[in-house]
Chain A
Amino acid sequence: MTEIKMPKLGESVTEGTIERWLVKPGDTVEEYDPLCEVITDKVTAEVPSATAGTIGELLVGEGETVEVGVAICTLDTGNGEGTLEAEEEPSASAEETAPAPEKPEAPPAQTADKPRGARISPVVMRLASENDIDLSKVNGSGFNGRITKKDILKEIEEGPGTAPAGKPVPGHAPESTQPSVMAGEEIPVTGIRAAIADKMVQSATEIPHAWLMMEVDATNLVNLRNDLKDDFKKNEGFNLTFFSFFVKAAAETLKEFPMLNSSWQGDKIVVNKDINISIAVAGDDKLYVPVIKNADELTIKGIAKQVNELANLGRQHKLTSEHMAGGTFTVNNTGAFGSVQSMGIINHPQAAILQVESIVKKPVIIDDMIAVRHMVNLCLSIDHRVLDGLVAGQFLKKVKEKIEKMSAEHTSVY
């Protein structure tokens, strides 16, 4: 019987939550077959079987969080008891398992007939004689049950026989008897939801947000994209989305305004060299923020392709920590669900987030005439510790100009 342990899914990860078991007791698995999905922070990963065998017992239930190295299920390898124990463990988890003592441990301390007084330190001896304390009646909290200076000071202060046991438990306050609202379903907060919540609280409490919005005339962009989209879909096999144009415009503009691509680090501001655009991808009730790396180096087609791939992976919950790491600025496609105005919460530790709203037809006055134009709002949230209104305004204005100038002559998607 082999135990499968919670693996260490990345540096500084100390625990994981079983999201879903993919096997049940009695199932036969091959080596590397996925056993369960585990979530840590924002990442879901599958735990592969260390070896072929039959699933014995699932030791950790779905939704439970356990520390790295804790056994999560047993696997009958058919080779008899205990012979193959953990031999084929992935090394990453094996290192973290079994709290093996590094130094040879002396025998356990709790033996009642352990000779007392063998390891009394000078200060304990002095305090005991000064205060007439019988050391055989003092409980030791130090190594191997040694009586420490703190133990004896406590004894002097509290006097003998004042162990806290047996104290009456104060009656706890009566529970509220009249709930004012009829309770419905209770949804436990676990895994990704909890991770999202933590991250949002951190962003919202740590970062002083400031917000601005500009209205952009996207008529040229709409015409351009309408001209291209059918051929594009036929040739490339995926959609040429409006969003890709906005990501491109933002990435180009970040090159000119590097402060928007920076990060507040307490005593310094780190200006990032790479322009890695985080995009928000929803999958059922979960929110992923994968990254388009070096977006400034990609064509609009290149961006559209990555958006498409990342969105697909997100819907299938296959995004890994690698997909999410390294973002320096976020562009959020809030328009996708019809929003025309929103205040984004910055993706900590980035310095800003750009929300691209719905493109809607509106009457607009141009040269004292009323025209029907495709208008879109761009909303920018900034970390006011890093950025001030002026540079944020200049940035947003530049993005606006880029969008408004897009046309068949000036803009190539390739």
Chain B
Amino acid sequence: MAKISYLQAITHALDHEMGKDDDVFILGEDVGKKGGVFKVTDGLQEKYGELRCLDTPLAESNIVGTAIGAAMMGKRPVAEIQFADYILPATNQILSEAAKIRYRSNGEWNCPIVIRAPFGGGIHGALYHSQSVEALFASTPGLKVVIPSTPSDAKGLLISAIRDNDPVLFFEHKKAYRLLKEEVPEGDYTVPIGKADVKRTGEDITVITYGLCVNYSLQAAERLSKDGHDIEILDLRTVYPLDKESIIESASKTGKVLLVTEDNLEGSVMSEVSAIIAENCLYDLDAPVMRLAGPDVPAMPYSPLMEDYFMVNPDKIEEKMLELLEH
């Protein structure tokens, strides 16, 4: 197995599914001729033709609406929103239509679409290219929201998302695209949606996180392990609906939980995780649940210093881990 990047893993997944199933097609801004602004869909139009890798106008509502219609007619569209920040014009299509088609038609219709979008900061992209938008969608039953943290998970989860018979939002951390590399299983490889993954087992504290923060947390845990601290890291992988069982199991095991997200603190996915722990694990808790997140300010700043202040990083995680370990 060769080492490939998070980005290449996503391309492999798309290529694999397009090769396997003629109903799978891609649509989005600049995904065809240009191969995507990040080059995720590079070469796919050449390989599968213009009708299966479709350049669309700059109209996100149209992209998702088209995808929904095609999905209802039996296709498996993979829509790309160039940056997650631009998904908002399509929210009506996603929340009111895609999420509710199965329910509204009493199971007669379904909507197997995937909407891919790069999200997250730390790349000096300021407010229109750095947002975390997962919490906006993580309270709408009918949707699944998936955020992979490793190249292998990216491939396996994307293939599962394309094969899923309901709408899946697939957020890719753009800083992870070329930063994270690892050996990724070749060919047909799936990772189950809705299942969290223990990325590191430990006994002293549990860190629950997702996306790029998983890698940052692993780095911090590795450093602290040199001082004898034994830290468990649970990667949510699917942030909606949450894998309650894994959260409860890990939180009960250590009794000390740190929740890490790059999103703004209040109302983030972690607020829900915290509620699950409070409801289910009280008598196993040995410390208050702690959270580390972006500050509650309107957007990721452009100034590098301010961006650093906003972003979660391994140092901040390590400091918070230590605080919890010493509690």
A residues sitting closer than 8 Å to B (CB atoms) are 121-126, 142-143, 146, 148-149
Contact = CB atoms under 8 A, between A and B. Distances in A.
B286 A148 contact: yes
Contacts, number: 28
Nearest to A141: B326
Contacts of B283: 122-123, 125-126
Interface string B56-95: 0000000000000000000000000000000000000000
Given A121-B255, A123-B255, A149 B286 contact: yes
11 contacts: A121-B285, A122-B282, A122-B283, A122-B284, A123-B283, A123-B284, A123-B286, A146-B327, A148-B327, A149-B256, A149-B286
B287 interface: yes
Interface residues of B, number: 10
SS of A interface (majority): helix
Contacts of A143: 326-327
Contacts of B286: 121-124, 148-149
Interface in B273-287: 282-287
A124 B256 CA distance: 12
Nearest to A144: B327
A125 B256 CA distance: 15
Contacts of B326: 142-143
A123 to B, nearest CB: 5
Contacts of B287: 121
Interface in B190-241: none
A149 B255 contact: yes
Contacts of A142: 326-327
- For B255, B283, B285, B286, the residue with the greatest tally of chain A CB atoms inside 10 Å of its CB is B286
8 cross-chain pairs, A with B, having the tightest CB-CB distances, nearest first? A149-B286, A121-B286, A126-B283, A123-B286, A149-B255, A123-B255, A122-B283, A123-B284
Interface string B124-149: 00000000000000000000000000
Contacts of A149: 255-256, 286
A122 B327 contact: no
Contacts of B282: 122
A180 B285 CA distance: 61
A123 B283 CA distance: 5
Contacts of A126: 283-284
Interface in B284-324: 284-287
Contacts of B327: 142-143, 146, 148
Nearest to A125: B283
Contacts of B284: 122-123, 126
Nearest to A152: B286
Contacts of A146: 327
Given A121-B287, A123-B283, A148-B327, 17 more contacts: A121-B255, A121-B285, A121-B286, A122-B285, A122-B286, A123-B255, A123-B284, A123-B285, A124-B286, A125-B283, A142-B326, A142-B327, A143-B326, A143-B327, A146-B327, A148-B286, A149-B286
Contacts of A121: 255, 285-287
A123 B287 CA distance: 9
